[in-house]
Amino acid sequence: MWRRVASLSPLVSSSKSRILNQVGCGLNACQVFTTRVLNPAEGGVSDRRRNPFVTFVLGGPGSGKGTQCTKIVETFGLTHLSAGDLLRKEISSNSENGSMILNTIKEGKIVPSEVTVKLIKKAIETSENDRFLIDGFPRSEENRIAYERVIGAEPDIVLFFDCPEQEMVKRVLNRNQGRIDDNIDTVKERLKVFAELNLPVIKHYSKKGKLYKIDGTGSEDEIFERVRPVFAALR
């Protein structure tokens, strides 16, 4: 099991994006995070996985969450759970929520918490690993509260890839993965939703001392060198 209390040196270089100014989360020299408290009334995850080490990976559309998660998995061996991928699998498996999820993604809105939290819980419970990157979730305070209630725990740490909007739009429009939401209209809506609903989650975890804000500009490798010390300090 990884350590849950760590003292880390400055990890993050700042960028001058609008988002950084809105969030106003300080780049503290030392981040301390605390042991999570399980909520027995809600049951949490099943016994075998009662106390997983969880990192939330947040950032706007195209900020590089998925790309950096792949690198973290390769180097540190966490299991990558992309909330977007879990939802897209629901669409392709023709589940009862498939068409609702498809329409929500097309519109750049947020799928109801109960649907997403259920998928994440199941993925944690069926994994052999006890360390997870939860990528692209929670996207709203409502998501966050539902997760913490159902799982019965807060995340251990939260990464936030801070990237200027113009760069995020460029990356999304060049993503080339055939995604229904990678178009200019949806990305504009997603940026609005990110600012209105996801930034409050980032602020919340900043106040709790759990946030690592990473400059999301530069090459993939340069960004990963900013991420590496976060996990290296936990081993």
Ligand X SMILES: Nc1ncnc2c1ncn2[C@@H]1O[C@H](COP(=O)(O)OP(=O)(O)O)[C@@H](O)[C@H]1O
Ligand Y SMILES: O=c1ccn([C@@H]2O[C@H](COP(=O)(O)OP(=O)(O)O)[C@@H](O)[C@H]2O)c(=O)[nH]1
Question: Residues comprising the binding site?
Answer: 62-67, 88, 109-111, 136-139, 143, 175, 179, 190, 218
Decide: is 190 part of the binding site for ligand X (CB under 6 A): no
C-alpha–C-alpha distance, residues 235 and 233, integer Å: 6
Decide: is 136 part of the binding site for ligand Y (CB under 6 A): yes
* Helical ranges in the chain per DSSP H: 18-23, 65-76, 83-92, 98-107, 113-125, 141-151, 165-173, 184-193, 199-207, 220-232
Name the amino acid, one letter, at 195: A
Closest approach, Cβ 110 to ligand Y, in A, equals 4
The stretch near ligand Y (CB under 6 A) out of 37-45, 47-55, 76-84, 221-229 is 76-84
Decide: is 171 part of the binding site for ligand Y (CB under 6 A): no
C-alpha–C-alpha distance, residues 115 and 89, integer Å: 13
Binding mask of the shown chain, residues 23 to 62, with x at each position contacting Mg ion by CB under 5 A: ----------------------------------------
Per the CB < 8 A criterion, the answer to whether 91 and 231 are in contact is no
131 forms bridges with which residues in the sheet? 53
C-alpha–C-alpha distance, residues 134 and 148, integer Å: 13
With CB under 6 A as the contact rule, the residue among 64, 138, 152, 164 that binds ligand X is: 64
Decide: is 108 part of the binding site for Mg ion (CB under 5 A): no
CA nearest 119: which of 102, 97, 140?
97
Decide: is 64 part of the binding site for ligand Y (CB under 6 A): no
Binding mask of the shown chain, residues 43 to 62, with x at each position contacting ligand Y by CB under 6 A: ------------------xx
Residue with tokens 């049951």: 43
Could you write out the three-class secondary structure of 100-169?
Answer: HHHHHHHHCCCCCHHHHHHHHHHHHHCCCCCEEEEECCCCCHHHHHHHHHHHCCCCCEEEEEECCHHHHH
Binding partner of 144, given Mg ion, ligand Y, ligand X, none, CB within 5-8 angstroms per partner class: none
With CB under 6 A as the contact rule, the residue among 56, 76, 132, 137 that binds ligand Y is: 137
Binding partner of 171, given ligand X, Mg ion, ligand Y, none, CB within 5-8 angstroms per partner class: ligand X
Which residues of this chain interact with ligand X, rule CB under 6 A? 59, 61-67, 171, 175, 219-220, 223
Which residues of this chain interact with ligand Y, rule CB under 6 A? 61-62, 65-66, 82-84, 87, 104-105, 108-111, 116, 136-137, 139, 143, 181, 190
